Structures are given as structure tokens and as C-alpha cells.
């Protein structure tokens, strides 16, 4: 049983070791460079670092094609370097999470090499084979338009092997008890080296039945219970954060009715409807999505995000909704991917509009769950659409306006850096922004601090507030006597809200002021008018209020400003 729910109020920061900082000057990021950045990440307010794959790999899919689960790719350092990194994180109170990519391996993995070379190999049944190409071989592809099939013929094995992803990533037969035991062994190995959690890749595919004769897959949810039980036995507070883009009707199957399966899941449903609401200015679809994903066990948690290392997947939207988002944020074909997604970073999607960036990240930090940031979000990094597929958003971190953005001192780098345009490292970098008190990075540090000081968002219950406007989202959080009201204007026009105390709920009904957490613009009950709270929201504006339950100090901070008498 997990007795330390550290993930409930965490700030998760996702990064790629190879593109964060080069510590040895060979043009590739490494653990030596990452260790140098730990004080920076701690200062930003990060409480958990999620590492994309860093194990040995041919690098045909940015490390998601692994050849040795118990290693560090030599380009990034050694296992000793990883342990030093994990120790450095522990010293600073930061947790370590790593990618767990066990739906498939690289076709260069020793397991697959042994499996394909002999039908009698003990590893033969670790993969999925068929003597004939199945009829459904051209369906269910993860990368349509790039990937042509899910079954490829292997000359050595004289059979077809199944691969949900690229053909160089053969699927593991995860129904095989030996494969499941190996997955537990992998998790146990990294826990022993200081890892507190795993972002499990492609969870619905991991737990699905696989085979040539299967026309309708069945999810083996008890597999998740086995994983969770193992983590609980080995390290009581270790968790799995699942990449599972599933319908809300399936959520509880993944969490488990009592939270005995997954501790965390990415909320893809809310993410997609959030972007639709951002595109249209109508918060209705987002409100519906929030309520659809509200049910969850007490120990479970959603991970909220804006952009990640993959495309912005809009596959759960209707065709008309997806077209609206494309029109607003990815009007050119080169900005779209797989017919369902957008391969851009957030800042260029929003045209670098500071108002909209602040609104978006304020939403991230104030939606139900735990926020997950992508490296470079804090400075508004851009993308490079000249790179293929998902690589457009995987460019190197921009530290300074020097050569290669301060990422490496090597004359040439194997990692792409954004050099030109408004998002080039000359204009967008950490060094410049940390010296500017009005920079996006400075604002982000303050918002992270405020989010950590508002635990009711991560721990509490929420309800949607009727603001009277379809372009204004209102969410009220309650936890242990603390109440927070968060408002966001999705419109380019200013809005004046007139909220009755009963609309806001407990605390407001006593007539107490709404204390603005982010500024001095508090809101008082206007008894002399209509007995409502008046709140002005500028275009794309946002407000975070404490509601009721204030001690004397807070009430004194929010004294009603003196009124000017109309008497002569």
C-alpha cells in the first residue's frame, strides 16, 4: 500500500538526456551535463524529473528501440553516472522517473536475435509470430502515412512478426509469464538505483492480447495489478504513470476500483478538449471532459499536460473538432502528423502571444491533477518543422545565446538546435530570461511556487462553477477546509463576471472577500449593489482566489479599499 502519495502535489519535468546539456563536449547531451543542471531544476521548482529513454539503443526511434534494458547508452555515460544523477536528485528533494518501454524492443535486441534464429530458442515465444500474413496486417498502425503494416516477414525466422509500431520494433508477447517476470525484474533493477516511478509507454498495447488469430483484442488489466503490487513490495512509494489514450469509460479499469492498478495516468481526454476549447473560445467541451474524467480512486491521480515529446494527438476529437484545431494551430500540412496530430511546440502554436501562453500554463497548473512540463516550456522554446515527424519538437535545450545555444562546446553537434527565426537560441534562452524579472521563465517560477502552495488542486475535490459565460471556465477546489476558485477567460474580449455567493459556495456565502493569490486585485461582495462579487477578466485573463476560511492576517491583507464619500 502506498503511504506516501508524493505524486499528488508534484511538479514533473520531462527531459531527454541527449538534448539537455552536453557535459563532455562530444556534441551529445549526457548525464554529466544533466547533473550540472540539477540546481537549475530545483530552483525552477521541479519535484520530479522524468527521463526519456537513455538505455542502449540503435536510435532509430529516439531511444524507444531498446537493445539493453539494464544499461545506459555509452553516448550518455555509465550506470555510475546515472547513480550520481539519482543521488544528486535525492539531495535536492527531487524524485526520478524513467521511461519504461516494454511493449516492444529493438530488432537488434539479443532476445529478438535469438528468437528469429531458431524456433527452439527460449526467446521465440517472447515475441508474436505468424506463419501467414494476417488479414488485418494493414490496420491498427500507430503511425499511419509512415508505417505500412503491423506484420513484417523475417527471412531468418521464415515467419511474420507483429509490431504495433515501426518494423524495427517487434512487439513483446506480454501475455507470456516469462516476459511479465522480466518486466518486473527491469523495474526492480532501476528502483534499486534510485528510481521512484516509471512512465510506462503505450500501456493499452502492453496489456492487450496479441496474435494473428485475434480480431478483437482484450485488455489484461490484472497485469497492471501485478506491476503495482511488485512496486509496492519493493518500494512503497514507487508508481507507474501510464501513457494510455483511452476513453473515459475505461479509466477505472486502468486505475482499479480501489486504486490497486495504476497510480497515475495522462489525461489525454482533457488535453484534447482543452485545445479544442482554446481554438474555439467555448469552454463547454472542456467542462464536459473534466466531468467525464472526474471519477477516480482516492490514491489515483491524473497527470495534466499541454505538449509532450510526441505529436499533440487529437484522435479522440470528432473530425469537425479536429479540423477546427488544425485551422487555428496547425493550418499548414507540414505542421500536422499522422492525420490526427500537431507536431509543434506550444509557443509557436500560440504565435508567441504572452497573454495566451500565461493563460495556457495557468490552466495547466490549475486543472485537476499533477502538472507535467516539457523541457524548454519555461522559456517558450519553439520547434523545427524541417525535421522529420516528431523530431520537430525534440531540439536541444537553449541555455545561452552562444554557439549551439550553450548546449555543447563541440564545433558540431549531432543534436539539432534551433538557430534561426524568432525562436532561435539568440532570442530564446535561459541566460537572458533569468536576468529579466518580466520574462516567461520568471513568471513560470512564480506559478510553480503558487501551484505547490495550493495543494487542494492536487489533493482535493473540484466542481465546475457556472460563470454565466461560455467563454469563461470556473473551477472550485476544496480540501481540508481550504477553498480555491480559479477562473480563465478563453476569449479575446474582456469579461466582467458578477458571481453570487451561492454560486461560489462555502466561504463566499459568509461575505468574505475573494483573496487574489497572484496579485492585489481582490474581490469584495458588493452589498450596496446586487450582493455579488465583481471580477474583471481581461482578454485571455486568469484569476486564482482563496475563498473563505481566512485567518486574521489574510483578512487584513485584503481590507476593502476606502470609499470616497459623496458628501461635500
Contact 76, 18 (CB under 8 A): yes
Residues 219, 242: contact at Cβ < 8 Å? no
Instruction: Strands of 21-73 (E only): list them.
Output: 48-51
Q: Distance (Å, rounded) from C-alpha 271 to C-alpha 268?
A: 5
- Among residues 201, 219, 311, 456, the one annotated as catalytic is 201
SS3 392: helix
How far apart (Å, rounded) are the C-alpha atoms in residues 225 and 208? 14
Please identify which residue in the block is written with the cell numbers 537560441: 425
The three cell numbers locating residue 123: 526467446
Q: What are phi and psi of 88, to 5 degrees?
A: -60, -40
Mention every residue, 6+ apart, whose C-beta is less than 8 A from residue 568. Answer: none
Rounded distance, CA 39 to CA 89, Å?
Answer: 9
22 neighbors 413 (Cβ within 8 angstroms): yes
201 labelled catalytic:
yes
Cβ contacts of 219 within 8 Å, gap of 6 or more: 204, 207, 208, 250, 253
Tell me the C-alpha distance between 553 and 511, whole Å.
17
Nearest to 242 by CA among 41, 458, 97: 97
> Does residue 528 have an active-site annotation?
no
Q: Which of 22, 243, 251, 378 is catalytic?
A: 243
- Under a CB-based contact definition with an 8 Å cutoff, are residues 400 and 429 in contact? yes
- b/e sequence 389-401, b meaning 16+ C-beta within 10 Å: bbbbbbbbbbbee
Cell of 104: 516492444
Cell numbers given for 491 = 476569449
Contacts 24+ apart (CB under 8 A), 56-61: 57/106, 58/106, 58/108, 58/168, 60/106, 60/166, 60/168, 61/165, 61/166, 61/168, 61/169
Q: Which of 214, 135, 222, 234 shows the shortest CA–CA distance to 171?
A: 214
3-state secondary structure at position 371 = strand
For the annotated catalytic residues, the residue numbers are 201, 243
Amino acid at each position: 500500500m502506498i503511504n506516501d502519495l508524493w505524486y499528488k502535489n508534484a511538479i514533473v519535468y520531462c527531459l531527454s538526456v541527449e538534448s539537455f546539456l552536453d557535459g563532455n563536449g562530444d556534441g551529445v547531451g549526457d548525464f554529466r551535463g544533466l547533473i550540472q543542471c540539477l540546481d537549475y531544476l530545483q530552483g525552477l521548482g521541479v519535484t520530479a524529473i522524468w527521463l526519456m529513454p537513455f538505455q542502449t539503443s540503435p536510435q532509430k526511434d529516439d531511444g524507444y528501440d531498446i537493445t539493453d534494458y539494464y544499461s545506459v547508452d555509452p553516448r550518455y555515460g555509465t550506470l555510475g553516472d546515472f547513480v550520481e544523477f539519482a543521488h544528486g536528485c535525492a539531495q535536492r528533494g527531487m524524485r526520478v522517473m524513467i521511461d519504461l518501454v516494454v511493449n516492444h524492443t529493438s530488432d537488434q535486441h539479443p532476445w529478438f536475435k535469438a528468437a528469429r534464429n531458431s524456433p527452439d530458442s527460449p526467446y521465440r515465444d517472447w515475441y508474436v509470430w505468424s506463419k501467414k500474413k494476417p488479414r488485418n496486417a494493414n490496420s491498427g498502425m500507430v503511425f499511419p502515412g509512415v508505417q505500412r503494416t503491423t506484420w513484417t516477414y523475417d527471412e531468418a525466422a521464415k515467419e511474420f512478426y507483429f509490431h504495433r509500431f515501426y518494423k524495427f520494433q517487434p512487439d513483446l508477447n506480454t501475455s507470456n509469464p516469462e516476459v511479465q517476470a522480466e518486466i518486473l525484474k527491469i523495474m526492480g533493477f532501476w528502483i534499486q538505483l534510485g528510481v521512484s516511478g516509471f512512465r510506462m509507454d503505450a500501456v493499452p498495447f502492453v496489456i492487450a492480447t496479441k496474435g494473428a488469430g485475434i480480431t478483437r483484442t482484450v485488455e489484461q488489466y490484472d497485469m497492471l495489478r501485478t506491476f503495482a503490487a511488485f512496486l509496492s513490495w519493493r518500494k512503497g512509494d514507487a508508481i507507474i504513470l501510464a501513457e494510455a489514450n483511452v476513453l473515459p469509460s475505461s479509466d477505472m479499469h486502468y486505475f482499479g476500483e480501489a486504486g490497486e492498478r495504476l497510480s497515475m495516468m495522462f489525461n489525454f481526454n482533457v488535453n484534447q478538449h482543452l485545445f479544442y476549447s482554446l481554438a474555439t473560445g467555448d469552454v463547454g467541451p472542456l467542462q464536459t471532459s473534466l466531468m467525464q474524467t472526474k471519477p477516480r480512486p482516492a490514491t489515483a491521480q491524473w497527470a495534466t499536460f499541454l505538449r509532450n515529446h510526441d505529436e499533440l494527438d487529437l484522435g479522440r476529437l470528432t473530425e469537425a473538432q479536429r479540423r477546427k484545431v488544425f485551422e487555428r494551430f496547425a493550418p499548414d500540412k507540414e505542421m500536422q502528423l499522422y492525420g490526427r496530430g500537431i507536431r509543434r511546440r506550444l509557443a509557436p502554436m500560440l504565435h508567441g502571444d504572452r497573454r495566451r501562453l500565461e493563460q495556457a500554463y495557468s490552466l495547466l497548473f490549475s486543472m485537476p491533477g499533477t502538472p507535467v512540463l516539457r523541457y524548454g516550456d519555461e522559456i517558450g522554446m519553439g520547434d523545427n518543422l524541417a525535421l522529420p515527424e516528431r523530431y520537430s519538437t525534440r531540439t536541444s535545450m537553449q541555455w545561452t545565446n552562444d554557439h549551439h545555444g550553450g548546449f555543447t562546446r563541440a564545433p558540431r553537434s549531432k543534436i539539432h538546435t534551433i538557430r534561426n527565426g524568432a525562436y532561435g537560441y539568440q532570442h530564446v534562452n535561459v541566460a537572458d530570461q533569468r536576468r529579466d524579472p518580466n520574462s516567461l521563465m520568471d513568471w513560470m517560477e512564480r506559478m510553480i511556487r503558487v501551484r505547490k502552495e495550493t495543494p487542494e488542486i492536487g489533493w482535493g475535490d473540484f466542481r465546475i462553477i457556472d460563470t454565466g459565460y461560455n467563454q469563461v471556465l470556473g473551477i472550485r477546489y476544496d480540501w481540508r477546509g481550504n477553498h480555491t476558485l480559479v477562473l480563465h477567460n478563453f476569449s479575446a474580449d474582456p469579461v466582467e463576471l458578477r458571481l453570487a455567493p451561492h454560486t461560489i459556495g462555502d466561504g463566499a456565502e459568509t461575505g468574505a472577500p475573494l483573496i487574489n493569490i497572484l496579485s492585489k486585485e481582490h474581490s469584495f461582495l458588493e452589498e450596496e449593489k446586487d450582493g455579488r462579487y465583481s471580477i474583471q477578466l481581461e482578454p485571455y485573463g486568469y484569476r486564482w482566489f482563496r475563498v473563505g476560511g481566512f485567518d486574521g492576517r489574510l483578512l487584513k491583507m485584503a481590507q476593502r479599499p476606502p470609499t470616497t464619500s459623496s458628501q461635500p
